[in-house]
Amino acid sequence: MRRIEPDSLALAVLTAALLLHGFAGERLAAEPRGADGVARLHAQLQGVLPEGWLREFDLKRERTIERLNGRMDELRRKLERRERSARFRLAAHS
């Protein structure tokens, strides 16, 4: 059985929460603008998601992005080497 990564689980939970409760932008548009509206929204988010969890999620998200960027760079270099090799072989047969 394949193990579910914590990052994938966190992303699934966040996606489900957004789908069930709507996007924050829609709520912000409906909320009165000003210090009271922002304070009320902040208090609602604090009750739903603890601050430590949000910081940890952001750190994991950044690490995942960095890891994927590194993997993309690695694959790009590998593809470039293959293209150069194919051009060299084509030129050698001409």
CB–CB of 60/6 below 8 Å? yes
The sign one gets for the Cα dihedral 3, 21, 24, 46 is negative
Q: Quote the pTM value.
A: 0.41
* Share above pLDDT 90 across residues of the chain, in percent, rounded to a whole number: 21
Mean pLDDT in residue range 77-83: 91
Q: What's the first-to-final CA gap in the chain, in angstroms? A: 52
Residue 5 — φ and ψ, nearest 5°? -70, 145
pLDDT given at position 74 = 95
